[in-house]
Amino acid sequence: MAGEPTASDTPWLDKDAEPLIRIKGITKKFGEFIAVNNVDLDIYQGELFCLLGGSGCGKTTLLRMLAGFETPSSGTIVIDGADMSQVPPYERPTNMMFQSYALFPHMSVEKNVAFGLKQDKVPNDEIADRVDDILKLVELQDFKARKPQQLSGGQRQRVALARALVKKPKVLLLDEPLAALDKKLREHTQFELANIQEQVGITFVVVTHDQEEAMTLSSRIAVMDKGEFVQIGTPTEIYEFPETRFVADFIGSANIFEGEIVEDGADHVRVSTSLGEIYIDHGQSTKMGSRVWAAIRPEKIHLSKKAPTKSGPNQAAGKVDDIGYLGNSSIYKIRLDTGQIVDVTSPNQIRPKSRTHGITWEDTVYLNWEPSSAMLLNK
C-alpha cells in the first residue's frame, strides 16, 4: 500500500513465484444460471486481494467456493499446493468473515473466538493465550465476557475478524467486511483492516461492491461482471489503464466516445470521435480504421472560459448545462454543440469571493486535456 513497490510486493509479476491460491477453469452453475463462468486466477502469499463487482456478478459465489460452501461445477481450486475439491470447509486452511458476522449469539466473545481452536483440539492454556492475543490486536480485551448482542456494530465486526484470524488460516476470506458499518466508521476501519493484515501477514481475499473500499484496501483487484473477470490489476492499473468500457465506467466515472483510429504511430494514436480529434501519447497495438473508444476521466479535463489560442486536438467547446456543487469539488455537465454531454470535475481550490461562482449556467466554456489523459479502449 505504502511506498514504492518492490519485487516482493508484486509477486504476480514474478514468473517463477508460486501462487498461494490457484483457481483454474472454475465454473459454477445453479440450474441454468451460470454464476461463475470458467475463471482463472492466481493469488499470492501476503496479498490483500479484492473481488469487486455489482450484485449478482458471482464474486460471493467464488468466495464461497474458496471456503468450501459451494462445490464448483467444474474446475479446480488449489490452496498452498493442495487440491481443495474433496476438502470440506471444516478441513480447509481458510477462514471466513461473514457479511452478517455470524457471531454465535449464545456464546460470549471469548467463546466465539475460542470456538475454532476448540475444534482443532488445541490445549486449553494455549487457547486462552491465543484468544487474549488476538483480542488485544483488535482492541477488545475488555469485552471478553460480553455476548455479541451487547456489542456495537464496529465491535461485532472486530470479534468476527478476531474469530477468523485466531486460527491463523493460510487465507482469510472476507465477505463485504465493512458493508454493515456506517460511513465514517467504514473509512476508519478500512485502514485498520489493512494495518491488521500487514501485521499478521495472512493473505486476505475480500469481496466488495464498493469500489472506493477496493481501491484503498487492495494490492490487486479483480473486477467481475456476469461471472467473469473483466480485468485484474493493481488499483492504479484498474483506474488509469482500464481495458474495457465496463471497467472504465464501473471504477470511477468516465466520458466515453466512440471513434475510429486515423493515425497509429509507435508512440501515439489519433482517434477521430464525435468530440473531435483526440491525440493519445502512448501507443496501442490497434489496426487502422478499427472501432475503438476513447475515455477521459472528468477530473482530467480542464475547464476554461477563455477560448483557446490555436485549434488542434484534445479540445472542445460547449455550454454549461448543469452544475453539481459537492463542496470540495464541482461537477459540470457540459453540453457540446453536437448535443453530447461531457462531465467535468473541477476541484474548488479557491474560495469564491462572492456567493456567485465563476462559471455558471449557460456559460460558454472550453475544454482541453493532456495528451496522456485519454484512455483507448478496444471493447
Partner 1 sequence: MFRQLARRMQAGWRSIVVFIPYVWLLVFFLLPFFIVAKISVAELVIASPPFSKMIEWTDSGAMTIRIVFDNFIYIFNDDLYSRTYINSLKISIISTIFCLLIGYPMAYGIVRSGPVAKKLLLFAVILPFWTSFLLRVYAWMGLLADQGTINNLLIWIGLIDEPIRMLYTEFAVYIGIVYTYLPFMILPLYANMEKLDGSLNEAAADLGSRPTNTFFKVTLPLTTPGIVAGSLLVFIPATGEYVIPDLLGGGNVLMIGRLLYNEFAANTDWPVASAVAIVLLILLVLPMTIYQYYQGKATEG
Partner 2 sequence: MYGKRSRFLTIMLVVGMAFFYVPMILLVIYSFNYSRIVPVWGGWSTRWYGVLFESEEVWSAVGLSLEIAVLNATFATLLGTLAGLAMVRFGRFKGRTLFGGMLVAPLVMPEVITGLSLLVMFITLKQLVGWPAERGFTTITIAHITFSLAYVAVIIQARLTGMGQTLEEAALDLGAKPFRVLTAITIPRLAPGMVAGWLLAFTLSLDDLVIASFVTGPGANTLPILIFSRIRLGLRPDINALATIIILFVAVCVAIAALIMFQQQRRAMRDEQIANREVA
Instruction: Please pick, from the candidates 68, 235, 242, 276, the single residue that binds partner 1 as defined by CB under 8 A.
Output: 68
Stretch of 68-76, 142-150, 186-194, 319-327 lying at the interface with partner 1 (CB under 8 A): 68-76
Does residue 151 bind partner 2 (CB under 8 A)? yes
Does residue 30 bind partner 1 (CB under 8 A)? yes
Cα 88 → chain centroid: 29
Q: Looking at beta carbons only, is 64 or 186 nearer to partner 1?
A: 64
Cell numbers at 241, concatenated: 489503464
Does residue 33 bind partner 2 (CB under 8 A)? no
Supply φ then ψ for residue 177, to 5 degrees: -65, -20
Instruction: Please pick, from the candidates 3, 88, 105, 327, the single residue that binds partner 1 as defined by CB under 8 A.
Output: 88
Dihedral (CA of 310, 314, 318, 324) sign: negative
- Burial (CB count within 10 angstroms: exposed 0-12, middle 13-18, buried 19+), residue 27: middle
Stretch of 37-45, 61-69, 344-352, 367-375 lying at the interface with partner 1 (CB under 8 A): 61-69
Instruction: Please pick, from the candidates 89, 93, 308, 313, the single residue that binds partner 1 as defined by CB under 8 A.
Output: 89
Does residue 64 bind partner 1 (CB under 8 A)? yes
Does residue 94 bind partner 2 (CB under 8 A)? yes
Give the integer Cα–Cα distance in Å for 332 and 58: 35
Q: What size, in residues, is the chain?
A: 379
Other CB atoms within 10 Å distance of the CB of residue 180: 16
Q: Which does 325 bind (CB under 5 to 8 A by kind): partner 2, partner 1, none?
A: none
Q: Which does 30 bind (CB under 5 to 8 A by kind): partner 1, partner 2, none?
A: partner 1
Does residue 116 bind partner 2 (CB under 8 A)? yes
Helices (H), 23-152: 59-67, 109-119, 124-137
Instruction: Please pick, from the candidates 8, 71, 124, 364, the single residue that binds partner 1 as defined by CB under 8 A.
Output: 71
Does residue 106 bind partner 2 (CB under 8 A)? yes
Q: With residue 246 as reference, give the H or E element that holds it.
A: helix 245-250
Question: Which residue has cell 472528468?
Answer: 298
Cα-based distances in Å from 65 to 31, 143, 329:
16, 33, 42
Does residue 69 bind partner 1 (CB under 8 A)? yes
- Residues of this chain, 49-68, that bind partner 2 according to CB under 8 A: 67-68
Q: Which does 95 bind (CB under 5 to 8 A by kind): partner 1, partner 2, none?
A: partner 2
Rg (CA), the chain: 25
Report in angstroms how near the CB of residue 108 gets to partner 2 at its nearest.
12
Cell numbers at 61, concatenated: 459465489
Instruction: Please pick, from the candidates 8, 71, 152, 364, the single residue that binds partner 2 as defined by CB under 8 A.
Output: 152
Contact 218, 48 (CB under 8 A): yes
Report in angstroms how near the CB of residue 359 gets to partner 1 at its nearest.
39
Strand order from edge to edge, sheet including 329-336: 302-304, 364-368, 315-325, 329-336, 341-347
Instruction: Render 106-123 in DSSP notation, one character per residue.
Output: TS-HHHHHHHHHHHTT--
Report in angstroms how near the CB of residue 126 gets to partner 2 at its nearest.
15
Report in angstroms how near the CB of residue 70 gets to partner 1 at its nearest.
6
Contact 26, 72 (CB under 8 A): yes
Q: Looking at beta carbons only, is 116 or 318 nearer to partner 2?
A: 116
The footprint of partner 2 (CB under 8 A) covers 67-69, 88-92, 94-96, 98, 100, 102-106, 115-116, 119-120, 146-147, 149-152, 154-155, 163-164, 167
